[in-house]
Structure 1
Amino acid sequence: MSVAADASGTARLLNWRIETDRADGRIAVIMEVHDDHTNRHGNMHGGLIATVLDTAMGATASFLKGDGGRIPFSTISMTVNFIAPMPLGIITATGRIMGGGYKTVFVEGEAHDQNNTLIAQATGTFKRAPIP
């Protein structure tokens, strides 16, 4: 996978990509899980799963409520439920707007492995960044 030159430091470090033009209308963060991303059990570290979900949900808020991604949203709170271990392979996290208004948006997220196994679910509250 290749990351855009203007990607964030975290995106460059973890080498994920964000898809905004999916057929299902969802924003997705897609990442290849390598040995460097694993815990002592050989599965993707839960903190990294949470990071991918946070990015997918924040990007969903930004692209769907923030002028096509031009206005960032920051995480106010987030809860993650881990369902299954994420082995080496491809993780895809997506977000879906559940409600909110102009400044605050409620988003749910799901992360699946390459076999479409549900890895984790999350909910989050995101706040629109002030316009400079």
Structure 2
Amino acid sequence: MRRSRTFDWEDPRVSAGAVAQHSGLAFLREILDGRLPAPPLARALGFTLEEAEHGRAVFALVPGEEHYNPIGSVHGGVYATLLDSAAGCAVQSALPLGTAYTSIDLNVKFLRPVTVDSGKIRAVGTILNLGRRTALAQAELRDSDDRLLAHATSSCMLFPVPAD
């Protein structure tokens, strides 16, 4: 039986333009509080930023069939997206005004399958090391019973963002 899903999003340039006006944590809190739009990717996949504090970020997703791979479980790319978002935003949460980041790499270890029966899953990102030019973060993907589903580490490059 054919299924469909629709979603909408806001202009991503609004958030991108706000990066230079906020510290990393203030920027994430603007998204969390709805004053800045969530990124279109989050709307497309259906995940949300749930928490942001200095050195930590949490994203959540209720898996659906639209996240499945051909063998009947959530695609690894969905895991990787959640883990990359959590690790990267953990780094962002510790950045001062005028600094941004980009992921250099992402190393993911898949430990358990996720299906629609898994319920809400959460990716919790934390900083391991924050330097002047690079940062190292990790993220854990856990189910509602706190079982570890996947783990990732991410290196991030830090760079100045010019003010408008």
TM-score tier after normalising by the smaller chain length? 0.7 to 0.9
Q: Deviations over 1:107-127 (max 9, x none)?
A: 011101122111100111011
**Match for residue 59 of structure 1?**
89
Which amino acid is 2:42 matched to? Answer: A
Structure number with higher helix proportion: 2
Aligned residues: 126
1:20-39 equivalent positions in 2, closer than 5 A: 20-21=51-52, 26-39=56-69
- Classify the secondary structure of the residue corresponding to 1:79: strand
- Counterpart of 1:82 (choices 107, 110, 116) is 110
Using the TM superposition, give the Cα deviation of residue 71 of structure 1 relative to its aligned residue in structure 2, in angstroms.
4.3
Identity of aligned residues (%): 30
Question: What is the root-mean-square deviation of aligned Cα atoms in Å?
Answer: 2.1
Higher-Rg member (1/2): 2
Using the TM superposition, give the Cα deviation of residue 98 of structure 1 relative to its aligned residue in structure 2, in angstroms.
1.0
- Classify the secondary structure of the residue corresponding to 1:59: helix
Using the TM superposition, give the Cα deviation of residue 33 of structure 1 relative to its aligned residue in structure 2, in angstroms.
0.7
Q: Distance in 2 between matches of 1:30 and 1:71?
A: 26
Q: For structure 2, list consecutive stretches of 5 or more residues without a partner in the other structure.
A: 1-31
Which amino acid is 1:107 matched to? Answer: A
TM-score, normalised with respect to structure 1: 0.84
- Label 1:109 to 1:26 Cα distance change in 2 as closer, same or farther (>3 A): same
